[in-house]
Chain A
Amino acid sequence: MIEGLHTTRRSRVLVADDTESVRSLFERLLSTDGHDVVIAKDGRGALDAVQRERPDVILLDVEMPGMDGLEVCRRLKADPATRLTPVVMVTGQTDLSDRIRGIEAGADEFLSKPVHPQELRVRVRSLSRVKHLIDALDSAEAAFVTLALTIEARDPSTNGHCERLARHAVRLGRALALGSEDLDALHRGGYLHDVGKVGVPDAILLKPGPLTPEEFALMKRHPEIGDSLCAPLQSLRRVRPIVLCHHERLDGSGYPMALRGDEVPLLAQIVGIVDVFDALTSERPYRVALTDEEAGKYLLRQAQAGKFSRRHVEAFLDTIGNAEICLAS
């Protein structure tokens, strides 16, 4: 059972308001409801307090000296470390324009002044539960990444592979002008793509020589094992196609489903390219590492043979400063 889904824990709530009586009111109401309350008197103070205290719920007054609540909210929602922390904008009852600007800034909820005590408590309780669920899922995902790195550590020759893959995949994604959600999926997919290797015995995973057909059949099961491991986590829904399809090839020669052309998800195509590149440029017990240039030429030949998109391969080689290979080939 994931901790946090069925249990309640004490929440930390940040109250940011430049008016002392409002701060005192909120502090009193929330602390008597069992929350730890952190106080900030202005926008800058609110950002500092978020960094320092990592609150579960943030209450922001719109009007604050220096940096207003809307700007604080925008910054929090732009930062991957805080974007999932619920933000409540506290506005005047009649300030429709503040609400509209609050929605644009990414606020999750609104409270009108004067705040009714019961409404404040119920809103904060409800958002705390949401945050605890998010934290629980984050923990589950962190456990998956740890598992993936543990698998990587089983094979000393693949040291650092996941991290490099995540980096290369994001670079290529950026070169292809993908959006932030896709780039995020590529980053996580870089770490998790081989998580299914947890189901592959050491004798096969670490075998120094070529695999027998039976061994290879077992090895080829890792994308489906990984996909079924990731399936229960809603937060990994964009990563699953990478885990399942990163060994598929455009000409239908890949596995596990022998998909062809556009059937191979774009993010999986990207991870497939950078996965091969990283494998070739890393030393193995049975061969030395290829240079970037040699690996690039290999990828171009594979693209020529219809396994990868030539455009994607060229874009990738461009990102690692090997564009001249494309021109030479």
Chain B
Amino acid sequence: MNWTPERMLARLDGDTELAAQLAEIFIDEYPRMFERLRGAVASGSADEVRRAAHALKGSVSNFVDGGPTATAFELETMGRNGQLAGASAVLDRLEREIVALTVCLQDFHSKGTGSAEGS
């Protein structure tokens, strides 16, 4: 994953306070968004997978270009195409990437500007 505090801040106009606020909101909101996506994959509802992945992608893209943003887009595309074969594996990968991101964000949030480097 290519997350660094510097890259994130560059996306947010260098606004450290905003970055910390968004990190806090994301850490709070992503479990619900992820559970919605997990439920959609489990039920095999392609359209709901598309919607839930799209929402998660919008949220995570505030912090990082590739990694979980790209993976969420992959699931969104699978949902759009109605092709959910292999979606569970992609979902697991997305979960790992998001957990890694939240560790970075938590670190950033607790240290202010922080110096945590992404994995």
Contact = CB atoms under 8 A, between A and B. Distances in A.
Interface of A: 17-22, 24-25, 28-29, 61, 63, 92, 94, 113-114, 116-118
A207 to B, nearest CB: 69
Interface stretch (B37-45, B49-57, B86-94, B111-119): B49-57
A191 B12 CA distance: 51
Residues of B contacting A: mostly: helix
Contacts of A61: 58
Given A116-B11, A117-B13, A22 B21 contact: no
Interface in B46-98: 51, 54-55, 57-59, 61-62, 65, 69, 73, 76
A19 B22 contact: no
29 contacts: A19-B29, A19-B33, A19-B58, A20-B25, A20-B28, A20-B29, A21-B26, A21-B29, A22-B59, A22-B62, A24-B21, A24-B22, A25-B12, A25-B22, A28-B15, A28-B18, A28-B21, A29-B18, A63-B51, A63-B55, A92-B54, A92-B57, A92-B58, A92-B76, A113-B57, A114-B11, A114-B65, A114-B69, A117-B12
Nearest to B21: A24
Given A18-B55, A19-B55, A63-B54, A113 B25 contact: no
Interface in B17-33: 18, 21-22, 25-26, 28-29, 33
Contacts, number: 56
Interface residues of B, number: 24
A21 B11 contact: no
Interface of B: 11-13, 15, 18, 21-22, 25-26, 28-29, 33, 51, 54-55, 57-59, 61-62, 65, 69, 73, 76
A120 to B, nearest CB: 10
Contact of B25 (A24, A114, A116, A118): A24
A25 B19 CA distance: 9
Contacts of B54: 63, 92
B30 to A, nearest CB: 9
B62 A21 contact: yes
